[in-house]
Amino acid sequence: MDLVLSPAEVRVLGSLLEKERTVPATYPMTLNGLVTACNQSSSRDPVTDLSEHQVEAALDRLKAQHLVRKVLPTTGSRVVKYRQVAQDALTVDDPQRAVLTVLLLRGPQTPQELKVRTERIHPFADAGEVEATLEDMAGWGEPLVRLLPRAPGQRDARWAHLLAGEPADPTGGTTAGADGATTAAGGGPSPEGGTAAPAPDPAVHRELAPLAGRWTGSGQGHYPTIDGFSYHERIELVPVAGKPVLAYRSTTTASDDGRGLHAESGFLRRVGDGAVELVVAGAPGVAETCAGLVEVGATGVEVALVSETVVGTPTAKEVTATERTYRVEGDVLTYDLAMAAVGEPLTHHLHATLRRA
């Protein structure tokens, strides 16, 4: 991942995630409470002795990475508190969050160990359900976890989180990154490629190849029924091996305080010369199927898509039509999105500029 946390940041984030679920009465947490949580002797591996200064410095770095938010004192109080916003930033659901929490606090573990240790955060039916959750977290273009090789004398292989970079190989060899690149046992990306996204195959992905990659940047949103807003966004377009398809994922957070705004995922498919289709599902309960054209110009590629169908869950806000345009010029991706929703006609909604990560 692009995100590489220090050991102190890993412990602070894991403690916030844990205490929000296990002791909600004292959450958000004060700095003193968080120091105690980080250094407790139970449910921690290794046990640490972080100082107040070290925890505060870790909080500042986590805030800069939009994983933690400061809660200002209320009337009559002088105490600043802290809460995690990593669940939104990383777009994990409750089972994934539980597994990630325990991995952050206790290091690599087997599915059975995780099943027992996540009980107070999220109960799993069995170790198989935990393993299915881990496989889902490992299956995206930028995975959150990795299955480690089984060390000599170990009965079962262990899973590790990737928020602190590539974990050490328990066998003393190398671990494979998302694209098959290797990583030294000491952790961190290798000179040969680190954890870069898989490269597209020009013969298979054709006109879609320039879109492949990980993109980060910012955008602005507006609509007649809401106030204007600014946001940060991360988009992944990951080539599917042997298929003219890019797996698509987008997550956005508010520019002002890092809170989660939106998440959606799907697939962009090349279906013929110059013809593409997109199927995408959004976290608010709306799914779209779109069709359109991809044009290759002198300076880049443009994909224009118009919705064929838009459907929503019973509780989703009404959306009846969308139009999307994505443009790539070198290492810059820009897009515009228009939608017809809640009784409004098709109206421009979002514009963003992102750069290849």
Sign of the dihedral defined by the CA atoms of residues 37, 42, 46, 51, in that order: positive
* Distance from C-alpha of 352 to C-alpha of 215, rounded to nearest angstrom: 11
Per-residue pLDDT of the chain (357 residues; tens, 9 = 90+): 567 999 999 999 999 999 999 999 999 999 999 999 999 999 999 999 999 999 999 999 999 999 999 998 876 677 899 999 999 888 889 999 999 999 999 999 999 999 999 999 999 999 999 999 999 898 766 789 999 988 777 788 899 999 998 887 776 654 444 334 333 333 333 333 334 456 899 999 999 999 999 899 999 999 999 999 999 999 999 999 889 999 999 999 888 877 889 999 999 999 988 999 999 999 999 999 999 999 999 999 999 999 999 999 999 999 999 999 999 999 999 999 999 999 999 999 999 999 997
pLDDT for the residue numbered 172: 62
Query: CA-CA distance, 1 to 296, in Å (whole number)?
Result: 30
Q: Is the peptide bond before 152 cis (omega within 30 degrees of 0)?
A: no
Q: How far apart are the first and last CA of the chain?
A: 10
Q: Do 234 and 211 contact (CB within 8 A), yes or no?
A: no
Taking the C-alpha atoms of residue 245 and residue 237, their distance in angstroms, rounded to an integer, is 9
Q: How many residues does the chain have?
A: 357
- Helix (H), strand (E), coil (C) string for the chain: CCCCCCHHHHHHHHHHHHHHHHCHHHCCEEHHHHHHHHHCCCCCCCCCCCCHHHHHHHHHHHHHCCCEEEECCCCCCCCCEEEECHHHHCCCCHHHHHHHHHHHHHCCECHHHHHHHCCCCCCCCCHHHHHHHHHHHHCCCCCCEEECCCCCCCCCCCEEECECECCCCCCCCCEECCCCCEECCCCCCCCCCCCCCCCCCHHHHHHHHHHCEEEEEEEEEEECCEEEEEEEEEEEEEECCCCCEEEEEEEEEECCCCCEEEEEEEEEEEEECCEEEEEEEECCCEEEEEEEEEEECCCCEEEEEEEEEEEECCCCCCEEEEEEEEEEECCEEEEEEEEEECCCCCEEEEEEEEEEC
d(CA 116, CA 229): 42
> Are the C-beta atoms of 86 and 104 separated by less than 8 Å?
no
Q: Are 251 and 258 in contact (CB under 8 A)?
A: no
Domains of the chain: 7-183 (1.10.10.10), 202-356 (2.40.128.20)
Cα 335 from chain centre: 20
Residue 78's pLDDT is what?
78
Measured between alpha carbons, how far is 342 from 330 in angstroms, rounded to an integer? 37
Distance of CA 288 to the CA centre of its chain: 21
pTM above 0.75, yes or no: no
Is 54 in contact with 225 (CB distance < 8 Å)? no
What are φ and ψ of residue 9, in 5° steps?
-65, -40
Best CA proximity match to 326, nearest among 210, 191, 156: 210
Phi-psi region of 182 (alpha: psi -120 to 50; beta: other; left: phi over 0): beta
Q: What is the pLDDT of residue 76?
A: 65
Tell me the one-letter amino acid at 193. Answer: G
